[in-house]
Amino acid sequence: MNIGITYNLKDDVSPGAILDNEFCEEFDTGGTIDALIHVFEKNGHNSVKLGSGIKIVDKIRSEKVDFVFNIAEGYSGRNRESGIPSILEMINVPYSGSDPLTLGMTLDKIVAKKIASQAGIPTPRYKVVKSIDELPSVENKLWYPLIVKPAWEGSSKGIYNSSRVSTNAELKESVGLLLGRYRNQPVLIEEYIEGREITVGVIGNARPQIIGTMEIMNKADFSEDFFYSLEVKRDWKNLVSYVSPPRLNPILERAIRHCAISAFKEFGCRDVARIDFRVSKHGRIFMLEVNPLPGLSPEYADLVIMAKKNGIQYNELVSAILNHALSRYEKSGSVAKTI
């Protein structure tokens, strides 16, 4: 097959955007695209670099693309991850990964929390504010410590070491920072769950399977409470220890796995997703985020690290995602074809 790859690259943004040192955080490097191409070609497919944006339509036609492997994050707005899949559906081209609705619901943390709550999947208690003037509605309604996040971002954008707050003054400062940096976007304030950070990798469709669970820990002190801030992610080699499988009692691990599969199904994820949790000191499980567009960097992506620790090599992981995507179209009777 002729497989097109849709993506956003860090190197493709304008100099002005680079001045915002968080703008490119979700984007991929050329090395990731090259690694995907190597896997596809090893499996006998041709590869076409499509990039992102409306011009991909012309490229798909001119290059006679049969199928699209989508890892594009988009550029702006809470529906940015839905853009490329929407275009592909409009022109009737099959693609990997979740559909536009799932991508939109999961990127918006507020919507995701509401859906999870209705499905019986616990998430931390929270409030949403759009201005500093709304903070009195939060104070004395939630228990400190709290954590402050932008509502529509991924890759820990806007989540700093200072985002965990313990006083009204710290809360006001942290909310003010995000309202200034992420304009026209609500701020999510959650009760911070002191405990452990666990992420779960899921692949498949009708019968999704867990490929692994992994704990993200402080490399210097495993006993210290730890959360995945932007500063931590950027210095992951020095600050983070990845433990897979994590040291969990069997009952707790089964419960986490059940929550992960439930979230995968409830949000309508397809082919692959990574679901993040916090586990309190008392063993209570709280879902933080569903990521149906997990990073696939062969070096630093959590899903890839987890897979390798569970004996799944990069080629096997990417091939499995591709095969699950292709099988959806085969079962529906659709045939991959050029337009």
pLDDT band for position 334 (50/70/90)? very low
Task: Give the pLDDT of residue 337.
Answer: 36
Q: Which of 20, 3, 148, 149 is nearest to 75 (CA)?
A: 20
Mean of per-residue pLDDT scores for the chain? 90
The Cα 17–Cα 313 span in angstroms is: 35
pLDDT at 290 over 50: yes
The per-residue pLDDT for 332 is 53
Average pLDDT over residues 122-135: 95
User: How many other CB atoms are there within 10 angstroms of residue 291's CB atom?
Assistant: 23
What number of other Cβ atoms are within 10 A of residue 177's Cβ?
16
- 224 has pLDDT over 50: yes
d(CA 247, CA 169): 37
More confident call, 248 vs 11: 248
Is the distance from CB of 70 to CB of 88 less than 8 angstroms?
yes
Q: Which tens digits make up the pLDDT trace of 33-57?
A: 999 999 999 999 999 999 998 889 9
Q: Is the pLDDT of residue 17 over 60?
A: no
Q: Please give the pLDDT value at position 270.
A: 98
Cα gap 8→321, rounded to integer Å: 19
Q: Assess contact for 306 and 212: CB atoms under 8 A.
A: yes
The SS3 call for residue 325 is: helix
d(CA 146, CA 148): 7
Least confident of 37-41, 207-211, 216-220: 216-220
- Give the pLDDT band (50/70/90) at residue 76: confident
Separation between Cα atoms, residue 108 and residue 110, nearest integer Å = 6
Domains of the chain: 2-97 (3.40.50.20), 125-191 (3.30.1490.20), 195-292 (3.30.470.20)
As a whole-number percent, the residues of the chain with pLDDT over 90 amount to 75
- How high is the pLDDT of residue 50? 96
pLDDT value of position 33: 96
Show Cβ contacts of residue 38 under 8 Å, excluding neighbours closer than 6 positions.
Answer: none
pLDDT at 15 over 70: no
**Amino acid letter, residue 304:** V
